[in-house]
Amino acid sequence: MTLFLLLTACSGHSDFTGPSWDPETGYALYEEGDIYVAVATRTRTRGQKSLFNEHVDVIEASLPAQEGLVMYAFGGRFPGAWAETVSVWHDNEALGEFLAGAPHQDAKVDLELEVQHAIWEFDGADLPVDWEAAQERVDELYQ
């Protein structure tokens, strides 16, 4: 299989990072013909910002060990105190294992959150995920 590189445009939000992202070049690595799974989330902390941030730190620290992670980015939308993420995974199984893991489950138990999300599959040629388009997918489902 041939390895490809694509340039990103993620203005106004945190840069992508992850095992398939090269921050020095601003390119995402993918294999031609591969299908990936993306998830865009929007979470409102409901006044629990400090505890929320502690959980985000734990979740982010766990990401490098996650099998199947391609890339991710964090951001936010103010006013409204929404924390936003976009992540890309090799498949639904990898995403599911990450979401079922202790960091996410602990946050779910400890925090009262309003969470909105969208999950979709796409061709590797469409990497990186466009931040604004990803959040528009969430908008379409929740507004």
Cβ atoms within 10 A of the Cβ of 60, count?
14
- Give 19's DSSP letter: T
Q: Answer for the pair 138, 40: CB distance below 8 angstroms, yes or no.
A: yes
Q: Answer for the pair 88, 38: CB distance below 8 angstroms, yes or no.
A: yes
Query: Which CATH number do you get for residue 127?
Result: 3.30.70.100
Cite the DSSP H helix spans in 34-126: 49-62, 92-100, 102-110
* pLDDT per position as a tens digit, 101-139: 999 899 988 988 889 999 999 998 888 889 889 999 999
Closest CA to 67 of 47, 30, 96, 27: 96
Q: What percentage of the chain has pLDDT greater than the value 70?
A: 87
* Number of structural domains the chain divides into: 1
What does residue 9 show for φ and ψ, rounded to 5 degrees? -135, 105
Domain that holds residue 103: 3-142
Q: Is residue 49 classed as helix, strand or coil in its secondary structure?
A: helix
pTM of the model: 0.84
